[in-house]
A and B are shown apart, each in its own frame.
Chain A
Amino acid sequence: MNRYLSAVLADRMGVVLLTVLLVSAVWVPIASLVLPASHPLHMGSYSVALWGKYLCFGLLALSLDMVWGKLGILSLGHGVFFGLGGYVMGMYLMRQVGDRGVYGDPILPDFMVFLNWDELPWYWFGFDHAWIAFPLILIVPGLLAYVFGALAFRSRVTGVYLSIITQAMTYAVMLAFFRNELGFGGNNGLTGFFDILGYDLREDVTRAALFSATALSLAGCYVLCRCLFATRLGLLCTAVRDAESRVRFLGYRTDRVKLSVFVLSAAIAGLAGALYVPQVGIINPGEFSPLNSIEIVIWVALGGRGTLWGAVVGAVVVNVAKTQFTGWLPEGWLFMLGGLFVLTTLYLPRGLAMLVPKRVSGS
Chain B
Amino acid sequence: MMNVRGGTLPPVFFQRLWRAVLLGLAVCFSPVQAADLPDALQSALEDLAGRDKVLRLEAVERIANSGTEESEALLQVILSGELYHWKPEDRFVRGEKDGRKFILYALEDGAELATVGRREAKKVSINNTLRGAVKSALATLDLIAPDPAKRLAGVRAQFAALAVPVERIDALLESESDTAVRDSLVTLRAMTLVSDETASGEPLMTAIAALGNSTEPGALTPLKGRFERSDDDAEKSALSSAIKAFESRQARFGMVKQVFFGLSLGSILVLAAIGLAITFGVMGVINMAHGELIMLGAYTTWAMQQLLPGQPGVALLLAIPMGFMVSASVGMVMERFAISKLYGRPLETLLLTFGFSLILQQAVRTFISARNVAVSNPSWMSGSLELHPMLSLTMNRVVIMFFCLAVFAVLWWVMQRTRFGLQLRAVTQHREMARCVGVRSRRIDTLTFGLGAGLAGLAGVALSQLGNVGPNLGQAWIVDSFLVVVFGGVGNLWGTLIGGLGIGVATKLIEPWSGAVLAKVLLLVAVILFIQRRPRGLFPPSGRSAGDN
Q: Which A residues are within 8 Å of any B CB, using their own CB?
A: 74, 148, 151-152, 154-161, 163-165, 167-169, 171-172, 175-176, 178-179, 244-245, 290-291, 294, 297-298, 301, 331, 333-335, 337-342, 344-346, 349
Residue B350, interface by CB 8 Å: yes
Which residue from chain A places its CB closest to the CB of B549 in the assembled complex? A245
Contacts of B288 in A (CB 8 A): 294
- For A167, the closest partner residue in chain B by CB is B479
> Is the pair B346, A164 in contact by a Cβ cutoff of 8 Å?
no
Contact of B355 among A156, A165, A341 (CB under 8 A): A341
Other than the given A168-B528, A171-B524, 14 more pairs (CB < 8 A) read: A148-B528, A160-B286, A161-B535, A168-B524, A171-B479, A172-B525, A294-B288, A298-B351, A331-B365, A331-B366, A342-B352, A345-B349, A345-B351, A345-B355
**Other-chain contact of A151, B348, B349, B532 (Cβ < 8 Å):** B532
| Residue B318 at the chain A interface, CB threshold 8 Å | no
Contacts of A297 in B (CB 8 A): 350-351
Tell me, in angstroms, the Cα distance from A167 to B482 when the chains sit together. 10
The 10 A-B residue pairs with the shortest CB-CB distance in the complex, in nearest-first order: A341-B355, A338-B358, A334-B362, A338-B359, A172-B524, A342-B355, A345-B352, A338-B355, A155-B532, A157-B535
A165 and B351 contacting across the interface, CB-CB below 8 Å: no
Specify which chain B residues have a CB less than 8 angstroms from the CB of A165 in the assembled complex.
486, 527-528, 531
List, in ascending order, chain A residues with CB within 8 A of B478's CB: 290
Instruction: Return 8 A-B CB contacts under 8 Å, by A number.
Output: A74-B347, A155-B531, A157-B531, A163-B347, A338-B362, A344-B351, A345-B349, A349-B345
Distance from A255 Cβ to chain B, minimum over Cβ atoms (Å): 12
Which stretch from B65-73, B99-107, B432-440, B513-521 is at the chain A interface?
B513-521
A318 to B152, CA, bound (A): 67
Is B338 in contact with chain A by the CB < 8 A criterion?
yes
Q: Inside 8 A of A345's CB, which chain B residues have their CB? A: 342, 348-349, 351-352, 355
The A/B interface has a contact count, at CB < 8 Å, of 128
Which residues of B lie under 8 Å from residue A342 when comparing CB positions? Answer: 338, 352, 355-356, 359
Closest chain-A Cβ to B272's Cβ sits at a distance in Å of 15
Return chain B residues, CB-CB under 8 Å to A298.
Answer: 351, 354
Given contacts A168-B479, A291-B475, A338-B356, contact A163 B361 (CB under 8 A): no
**Chain A residue with the shortest CB-CB distance to B358:** A338
Contact with B535, one of A155, A179, A244, A349 (Cβ below 8 angstroms)? A155
Contacts of B525 in A (CB 8 A): 172
Beyond A175-B520, A175-B521, A297-B351, whether A169 also contacts B358 by CB under 8 A is no
Residue of A at shortest CB range from B346?
Answer: A160
Task: Please give me the residue from chain A that is nearest to B536 by CB atom.
Answer: A161
B533 interface residue (CB < 8 Å to A): yes
- Is the CB–CB distance between A334 and B361 below 8 Å? yes
| Interface pair A168/B355, CB less than 8 Å apart | no
Known: A155-B532, A161-B535, A172-B521. A294 touches B482 (CB 8 A): no
Q: Are B533 and A155 in contact (CB under 8 A)?
A: yes
A160-B346, A161-B486 known; A334+B351 contact, CB < 8 A: no
0 or 1 for each of B458-485: is its CB under 8 Å from A? (1 = yes): 0000000000000000010011001100
Neighbour of B518 across the interface among A159, A169, A179, CB < 8 A = A179
B478 nearest CB neighbor, chain A only: A290
Closest CB-CB distance, A355 to chain B, in whole Å?
18
List chain A residues, Cβ under 8 A from B535: 155-158, 161
A169 with B531, Cβ < 8 A, contacts A163-B286, A178-B517, A291-B475 known: no
Within 8 A of A (CB), among B15-35: none
The residues of B that contact A152 with a CB separation of less than 8 Å are 531-532
Query: Counting CB contacts under 8 A, is B357 at the interface?
Result: yes
Which B residue's beta carbon lies closest to that of A340? Answer: B355
**Chain A interface main SS type:** helix
A349 near B348 (CB under 8 angstroms)? yes
CB-CB < 8 A to A244: which residues of B? 549
In whole angstroms, how far apart are the Cα atoms of A301 and B354 in the complex? Answer: 12
Q: Which residue of B lies closest to A344 (CB)?
A: B351
State which residues 520-545 of B face A: CB under 8 Å: 520-521, 524-525, 527-529, 531-533, 535-536
Rounded to whole angstroms, the CA-CA distance of A155 and B345 in the bound complex is 23
The answer for the CA separation of A168 and B486 in the assembled complex, in Å, is: 11
A171 — which chain B residues lie within 8 A by C-beta?
479, 524
Q: Within 8 Å CB of B533, what residues of A?
A: 155
A residues in contact with B280, CB < 8 Å: 160
Chain A CB within 8 A of B419 CB: no
Given contacts A175-B517, A291-B475, contact A339 B486 (CB under 8 A): no
Find out whether the CB atom of A341 lies under 8 angstroms from the CB atom of B479: no
Interface assignment of B341: CB less than 8 Å from any CB of chain A = yes
**A96–B520 CA distance with the chains assembled, in angstroms:** 34
Most central of B350, B533, B536 by chain A CB within 10 Å? B350
Interface size class of B (residues with CB under 8 A): 35 or more
Separation of A242 and B280 alpha carbons in the complex (Å): 23
Residues facing A in B351-403 (CB within 8 A) are 351-352, 354-359, 361-363, 365-366
Interchain CA distance A346-B361 in the complex, whole Å: 21
Out of A158, A290, A339, name the residue touching B479 (CB < 8 Å): A290
- Contacts A168-B527, A290-B479, A349-B348; is A341 near B532 (CB within 8 Å)? no
Q: What is the CA–CA distance of A335 and B284 in the complex, to the nearest angstrom?
A: 26
Residues of chain B from 323 to 350 with CB closer than 8 A to chain A in the complex: 338, 341-342, 345-350
Cβ contact within 8 Å between A337 and B346: no
Q: How far is the CA of A244 from the CA of B482 in the complex (A)?
A: 25
Select from chain B the residue with minimum beta-carbon distance to A243: B549
Contact in complex: A74, B350 (CB < 8 Å): yes
Interchain CA distance A337-B533 in the complex, whole Å: 38
Residue of A176, A244, A301, A338 ringed by the most chain B CB atoms within 10 A: A338
CA distance A359 to B348 in the complex (A): 27
| The residue from A151, A158, A167, A176 contacting B521, defined by CB atoms under 8 A apart | A176
A139 to B212, CA, bound (A): 58
The 8 Å CB contact of A339, one of B355, B482, B529, B549, is B355
In the complex, which residues of chain A have a beta carbon less than 8 angstroms from the beta carbon of B524?
A: 168-169, 171-172, 175
Shortest Cβ distance from residue B356 to the other chain A in the assembled complex, whole angstroms: 7
Collect the chain B residues with CB atoms within 8 Å of residue A340's CB.
Answer: 355
Docked-complex contact A331 and B362, CB < 8 angstroms: yes
A210, chain B: closest CB distance, angstroms: 31
- Chain B residues, Cβ within 8 Å of A74: 347, 350
B303 shortest CB reach to chain A, Å: 21
CB atoms of B532 and A346 under 8 A apart: no
The answer to whether A334 touches B482 (Cβ under 8 A) is no
For residue A65, give the distance in angstroms from its CB to the closest CB of chain B.
13
- A42 CB, nearest partner CB in chain B, Å: 36
When C-beta atoms are compared, the residue in chain A nearest to B518 turns out to be A179
Distance (whole angstroms) from the CB of B128 to the closest CB of chain A: 45
Map CB proximity to A onto B489-533 as digits: 1 under 8 Å, 0 otherwise.
010000000000000000000000000011011001101110111
Please give the distance in Å from A157's CB to the nearest CB on chain B: 5
Q: Which residue of B lies closest to A294 (CB)?
A: B354
Report how far A184 CA is from B536 CA in the complex, Å. 35
Selected from A154, A161, A176, the residue in CB contact (under 8 A) with B531 is: A161
Residue pair A151, B529 in contact (C-beta under 8 Å): yes
Nearest-Cβ distance from residue A270 to partner chain B, whole angstroms: 20
| B-side contacts of A178, CB under 8 Å | 517
Q: Are B528 and A169 in contact (CB under 8 A)?
A: yes
B549 proximity list for chain A (CB < 8 A) = 244-245
Give the shortest distance, in Å, between A252 (CB) and chain B (any CB).
16
Q: Which of B284, B338, B346, B527 contacts A346 (CB 8 A)?
A: B338
B534 smallest CB distance to A (angstroms): 8
The answer to whether residues A341 and B531 also contact, given A74-B347, A172-B524, A179-B518 and a CB cut-off of 8 A, is no
Chain B residue numbers with a CB within 8 Å of A335 are 358-359, 362-363, 366
For residue B27, give the distance in angstroms from its CB to the closest CB of chain A: 66
Q: How far is the CA of A116 from the CA of B366 in the complex (A)?
A: 43
Chain A residue numbers with a CB within 8 Å of B475 are 291
Pick the contact of B517 from A158, A163, A169, A179 — CB < 8 Å? A179
**Bound Cα distance A2, B86 (Å):** 117
**When the two chains form their complex, are residues B356 and A168 in contact, meaning their CB atoms are under 8 A apart?**
no
**Docked pose: A334 CA to B549 CA in angstroms:** 38
